[in-house]
Amino acid sequence: MVATLLRKKQRVSVMRSLASGLVACAATLLFVGAAEAVPYAQLSSSQNQLGGTTPKVVTLNQNDAVKGISNSNGVITFNEAGAYFVIAAAQVGSVNGKGKGSLRLWMRMNGQDVPNSNTEQTIVPGFTAVLVCQGVGEVKAGDRLELVYSVSAAAEQLGLIASKPAGEPLVPSMIFTAFKVDDYAYAQVSSSQTQTAGAVGKLIALNSADALKKVENNAGVLTVKSAGAYFVIAAGQVGCSAPGGKGRVRMWVRQNGQDVANSNSEQTINPGVTTVLVCQGVLACKAGDRVELMQSANGGGVGMVASSPKGEPVVPSVILSVVKVADDAYAQFSSVQSQAGSTYGQPVSLSQTDAARNVKIAKGAMSISINKQTIMVGKDGVYFMIAAGQVGGAEGHGVGSVRLWLRQNNIDVAKSNTEQTVINDYTTVLVTQGVGEAREGDKLQILQSARGAGVGLIATKPKGEPVVPGMIFSLVKID
């Protein structure tokens, strides 16, 4: 959650009260709790929530997994002081499937809107997507967090939409994850500037240091001061940076001047459309390592777009969160293969181990195909996981939607499903995430299904850039 209040005297206190809001999609891990686990919460909503032009607080009527954090129907109270990472993922659309307009989502701390925490999604008839808002910062015991949303046109029946596909977990209207992190090192930075992308990759500028500890920001070049494992997640508000702009925007991570393999993600943009593009990963860093975000585009007049809605926080063009996690167990897996969806749930294959310690893609007695679909946890602990699928149509053709959810020890995780509409050459990132406790030997899988024909997970290789994987999966131990 961002932290800079409107008045300078308030900026430092709110920054350390819970730094900055951002975006990315959601899920839920229902592990058994242990007495010594760090505070965490996995919350969701099973209800449709109709928006208005006057902001409304998001209702969260499901406590899926909680420890040290309480929830009163959407008023989230932190019982223990410290640094926390939070991520909210809203399933947005229209109640009757006919509405059009836009929906914005941001954070409110102790009754005050959090600056630089707003994100926005364009909605057209028959369309659904996941809108993410995330951040990291310090809170005091008793601090209260709420999620707030508004829509551009109340008559269009836009809002947060829940659904129950046959034979699959619920698609909640909102999934919210929070957990206490190592308060030794973290960063929340953002940009108030619109930044047009070009054919050649260029650095994304980040001019707002919303919350920093043991990480320095020099206009988008972040320098890590403490060695260790870090979870990095960026949310770019992509759209038209010039009238009539059209094309595809890509975003990836660079470490010490080198592109990070398999870190690229891509979003289609048409005139009048804006949405959030998520890029995430786990990096093993030495003290002094530099982390940057890069962007490029196919087409002109598109890129990262900032805006200032009246009476609401700024919508930054990019929000970047960096948190230090446990060094003894983490994983970054991906798939460089396209994987077609089907009418029933299929486990997603993961072919690349990009970084891992005490977590692995299964090997041994199972078949090769099943091994690649199964993630094995090697140590007991509290874990956060996020799966980001690059969804689209095969060869630019296909009409329907893709759903993504989680499975633990061969059982679908309740309320972990998310959904994204795909039409022809449209491509975007669909996310599902969750937090909870896992035991040594636990098996995790990512499931996908499709409604319609010719849609699924799409991998591509842009020239001179990292691969855009069909799936990027990150798992970090937080305790």
Structural domain for 415, as ranges: 330-477
From CA 24, how far away is CA 280, in angstroms rounded?
A: 9
CATH number at residue 401: 2.60.120.40
The span from the CA of 245 to the CA of 271, in Å, is: 6
The answer to whether 41 touches 28, Cβ cutoff 8 Å, is no
Q: Is residue 168 part of a domain?
A: no
Q: Which DSSP string do the residues of 437-451 spell out, in sequence order?
A: EE-TT-EEEEEEEEE
Q: Give SS3 for 10.
A: helix
Query: From CA 151, how far away is CA 135, in angstroms rounded?
Result: 22
331 in Cβ contact with 354 (< 8 Å): no
Q: Which amino acid is at 137?
A: G
Residue 393 lies in a domain: yes
Instruction: Report the DSSP beta bridge partners of residue 82.
Output: 139
CA distance 106 to 150: 9
Instruction: Kindly state whether residue 51 falls inside one of the protein's structural domains.
Output: no
Residue 454 lies in a domain: yes
Question: What pairs with residue 190 in β-bridges?
Answer: 208, 319
10-residue block means of pLDDT along the chain (479 residues)?
A: 37 39 38 65 98 97 96 98 97 96 98 97 97 96 98 97 97 98 94 98 97 97 97 98 95 98 98 97 98 97 98 98 96 97 96 96 70 93 96 90 96 96 95 94 97 96 98 95
Q: Which two tokens stand for residue 278?
A: 């998520």
Q: Is residue 349 part of a domain?
A: yes
Q: How many CB atoms lie within 10 A of CB 39?
A: 20
Residue 50: its pLDDT value, please? Answer: 97
- In which residue are the tokens 């959810």 written? 405
Task: Indicate whether 389 belongs to any domain.
Answer: yes
Count how many Cα atoms sit within 13 Å of the Cα of residue 263 in the half-sphere of its side chain: 25
pLDDT (0 to 100) of residue 8: 36
Task: Please indicate, yes or no, if residue 343 is contained in any of the structural domains.
Answer: yes
What pLDDT sits at residue 396?
A: 80
DSSP calls for 14-75? HHTTS------------PPP-TTPPPEEEEEE-S-EE--SS-EEPP--EEEEEESEEEETTE
Task: Please report whether residue 467 resides in a domain.
Answer: yes
Res 395: pLDDT = 82
Where does residue 399 rank: exposed (0-12), middle (13-18), buried (19+ CB within 10 A)?
middle
The answer to whether 238 and 305 have CB atoms below 8 angstroms apart is yes
Q: What is the pLDDT of residue 365?
A: 52
Structure tokens at 439: 């035991």
CA distances from 379 to 32, 39, 443, 444 (A): 15, 19, 12, 13
As for how many domains the chain has, the answer is 1
Which ranges of 67-226 does DSSP label H, i.e. alpha helix? none
Spatial separation of the C-alpha atoms in residues 416 and 387, rounded to whole Å: 11
The residue among 141, 130, 102, 30 whose CA lies nearest residue 411 is 30
> Hey, which bits of 326-417 come out as E strands?
330-335, 339-340, 346-347, 352-357, 359-361, 375-377, 381-393, 399-408, 411-412
Which residue do the tokens 């996690």 mark?
A: 325
